[in-house]
Amino acid sequence: QKTAHGYRIHLRKSKTDQAGNGLCVPLEGEAAAALTTWLVRAGIREGRLFRSIRRNGRMNRQMTGKSINAMIKKRIEAIGLDPKDYGAHSLRAGFITSAIEAGMPLHEIVRFSGHRDRETAQGYVRTTRPLPATLHTLFSKEHIK
């Protein structure tokens, strides 16, 4: 659904939402611009955003988790990394890690990731830079009172 600032994407069903209650995710800025480009180039006016593309260039049905995973592994290998270390869940972990590093509160992240609880979402965080409070500073004389 197009909005004044981009899109609101309705995810009808997911692994964590088997009942199909749905989840609405806002998409704005550069991500919304990229989606607009994709929709125009692919000629998509309604229905699923991402579809499998056959060798002849024709779009087919929805992409499956298996096909997304295979696509990611292929791209990872193309840039010289080991595809065994990456997959579809790497996208989720990347989003959650980036959101945490940008200062987004975990309760907000859970709204967009579709996780049922914060603990599960926290398990996706992949620390990419040193934590501000190391054991050394945590147990320094200044912090122990």
14-47 pLDDT, tens digit per residue, is 666 667 777 788 888 998 999 999 899 888 888 8
Q: Give the pLDDT band of residue 132 (cuts 50, 70, 90).
A: low
For residue 140, how many other CB atoms are within 10 A of its CB?
10
Residue type, 98: S
Give me the pLDDT at residue 144, please. 45
More confident residue, 144 or 118: 118
Looking at every residue in the chain, the average pLDDT score rounds to: 80
Task: Give yes or no for a contact between 48 and 64, defined as CB atoms under 8 angstroms apart.
Answer: no
The residues, ordered by sequence, that sit 6+ positions from 118 with a Cβ below 8 Å of its Cβ are 106, 107, 110
Q: To the nearest 10°, the Cα dihedral for 91, 76, 12, 6?
A: 70
For residue 117, how many other CB atoms are within 10 A of its CB?
8
More confident residue, 79 or 134: 79
